[in-house]
């Protein structure tokens, strides 16, 4: 559940009217509820309270340093996938001992910075990456803590673009090859094997693929033990889905129960990397209607576009869109579209929408995960503000970009002359 609720036909986030925030910061903007974030973290984390574990929030889903700090303050860590996310996590004050670093393409420089920071472990995705880590660690005179991301070849039954655990996906080391890689790593002077990791996809709405992949990983851990390789950490990645439009994903408690049952007597610290399930329904994108027009179809043209929320265009994702005031009025089927010069720029298509007029506010719901974090400057649009509500107060946690920010770092070489 989340803290976006109507009071007298006006949408509130916790105790703040969404329209009051729009008045203060302009539109569009992302709005997050600290209460929802906190409750979601607690529900997830407490579901694993009876076993050693670290809930490492997947920064890629919503990387604002205030959000990273919020979760760190609740005892969480961070799952990062780039040097930029490491910088964010460190700036937010996340304990480096609770940072895990995933991703298929870490550079030597990123690996070095991660090792300097003393992160918990690097989740290694290829033999070549392992060789680079060995070289970097040797140069620094330390042992790099690593786990290997194995690819269990399990179908997560989700959108093809966000499936990662199939043999045909680019992620991880095929589980059949992994033993050889572990044995090689165990002989490397500057590698400390800590664990095994696995992440099969995102927006999973069934528990069975998680259990199936854990069963395979468990079998693999037994093989490792037979070879004298013990591990202290098992990283199960993220992926638990949320409800966008009638899906019925397992509750964190159900997910945790299934995982713990399959774990059985395996003793190690569990690392979990939830992203979407913590932030998805804790955030909304608030946008203003600019115009409406009717021809063959009815269009509601709003001031947020695919550069602000890419998910509908990219994955054909569904986000509920509701009027901020008087949500229960007569409806008409419409496309909700942005100002970007592409037909693919839509937030909703052929959707029954309240009959809204220019200047009214709309809230695009469930936009907390992979919303702002995937936004871009396409069409030279400054990225929008992010606002965090806490009770009856709101805080701008990222200022709206300006035109100056748009051209930051750009320059015109002298040979092009002075211009008009």
Q: Given the rule CB under 6 A, which residues bind ligand LLP? A: 58, 61, 79, 102, 162, 199, 202-203, 237-240, 273-277, 311, 315, 369-370, 374
CB within 8 Å of 250: residues ≥ 6 apart: 205, 206, 207, 240, 258
Tokens encoding 337? 């579209």
φ/ψ of residue 178, rounded to 5: -65, -35
Q: Give the integer Cα–Cα distance in Å for 371 and 413.
A: 36
**What is the DSSP pairing of strand 4-7 with strand 361-364?**
unpaired
Closest to ligand LLP by CB, 12 vs 346, is 346
> Could you give the count of Cα atoms lying within 13 Å of 2 in the half-sphere of its Cβ?
26
Torsion, Cα of 152, 156, 160, 165 (10° steps): -20
- Least Cβ distance, residue 149 to ligand LLP (angstroms): 7
- Least Cβ distance, residue 399 to ligand LLP (angstroms): 24
Closest to ligand LLP by CB, 60 vs 112, is 60
The answer to whether the beta carbons of residues 353 and 331 sit under 8 Å apart is yes
- Least Cβ distance, residue 95 to ligand LLP (angstroms): 18
**CA 33 distance to own-chain centroid:** 16
Q: Give the integer Cα–Cα distance in Å for 353 and 372.
A: 24
Tokens encoding 53? 């574990």
DSSP string, 126-149: -HHHHHHHHHHHHHHTSPEEEEEE
Q: Give the integer Cα–Cα distance in Å for 354 and 366.
A: 18
φ/ψ of residue 139, rounded to 5: -60, -30
Q: Is 341 a catalytic residue?
A: yes
Quote the Cα angle for 125-129-135, to 5°.
145
Closest to ligand LLP by CB, 322 vs 366, is 366
Closest to ligand LLP by CB, 88 vs 360, is 88
Closest to ligand LLP by CB, 353 vs 367, is 367
Beta strands in 186-317 (DSSP E): 191-197, 233-235, 269-272, 283-294, 298-302
CB within 8 Å of 74: residues ≥ 6 apart: 38, 41, 42, 45
Tokens encoding 24? 């203060």
DSSP lists the bridge partners of residue 332 as 353
* Catalytic member of 13, 56, 62, 341: 341
Closest to ligand LLP by CB, 130 vs 200, is 200
In angstroms, the Cα distances linking 352 to 321, 349, 365 are 10, 9, 15
- Least Cβ distance, residue 165 to ligand LLP (angstroms): 10
Closest to ligand LLP by CB, 278 vs 385, is 278
- Least Cβ distance, residue 44 to ligand LLP (angstroms): 10
- Least Cβ distance, residue 156 to ligand LLP (angstroms): 10
- Least Cβ distance, residue 281 to ligand LLP (angstroms): 12
Closest to ligand LLP by CB, 126 vs 202, is 202
- Least Cβ distance, residue 209 to ligand LLP (angstroms): 12
Catalytic site residues? 341
């Amino acid at each position: 559940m989340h803290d976006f609720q109507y009071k007298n036909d006006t949408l509130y986030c916790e105790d703040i009217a969404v329209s009051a925030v729009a008045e203060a910061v302009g539109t569009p903007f992302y709005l997050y509820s600290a209460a929802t974030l906190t409750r979601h973290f607690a529900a997830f984390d407490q579901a694993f309270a009876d076993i050693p574990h670290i809930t490492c929030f997947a920064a890629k889903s919503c990387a604002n340093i205030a959000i990273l700090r919020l979760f760190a303050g609740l005892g969480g860590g961070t799952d990062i996938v780039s040097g930029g996310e490491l910088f964010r996590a460190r700036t937010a004050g996340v304990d480096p001992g609770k940072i895990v670093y995933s991703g298929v393409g870490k550079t030597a420089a990123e690996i070095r910075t991660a090792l300097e920071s003393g992160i918990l472990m690097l989740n290694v995705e290829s033999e070549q990456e392992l060789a680079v880590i060995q070289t970097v660690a040797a140069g620094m005179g330390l042992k790099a803590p690593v786990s290997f991301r194995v690819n269990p070849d399990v179908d997560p039954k989700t959108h093809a673009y966000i499936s990662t655990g199939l043999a045909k996906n680019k992620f991880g080391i095929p589980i059949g090859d992994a033993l050889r890689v572990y044995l090689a790593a165990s002989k490397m002077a500057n590698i400390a094997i800590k664990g095994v990791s696995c992440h099969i996809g995102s927006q999973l709405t069934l528990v069975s693929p998680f259990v199936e992949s854990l069963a395979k990983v468990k079998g693999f851990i037994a093989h490792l033990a037979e070879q004298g390789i013990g591990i202290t950490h098992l990283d199960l990645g993220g992926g638990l889905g949320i409800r966008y439009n009638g899906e019925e994903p397992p509750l964190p408690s159900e997910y945790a129960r299934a995982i713990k049952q399959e774990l059985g007597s395996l003793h190690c610290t569990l690392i979990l990397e939830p992203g979407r399930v913590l932030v998805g329904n804790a955030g909304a994108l608030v946008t203003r209607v600019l115009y409406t027009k009717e021809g063959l179809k009815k269009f509601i043209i709003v001031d947020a576009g695919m550069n602000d929320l890419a998910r509908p265009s990219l994955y054909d994702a569904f986000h509920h869109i509701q009027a901020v005031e008087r949500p229960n009025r007569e409806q008409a089927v419409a496309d909700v579209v942005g100002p970007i010069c592409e037909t693919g720029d839509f937030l909703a298509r052929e959707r029954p929408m309240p009959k809204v007029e220019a200047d009214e506010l709309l809230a695009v719901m469930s936009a907390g995960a992979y919303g702002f974090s995937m936004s871009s400057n396409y069409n030279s649009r400054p990225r929008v503000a992010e606002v965090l509500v806490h009770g009856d107060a709101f805080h701008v946690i990222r200022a709206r970009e300006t035109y100056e920010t748009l051209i930051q770092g750009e320059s015109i070489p002298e040979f092009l002359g002075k211009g008009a």
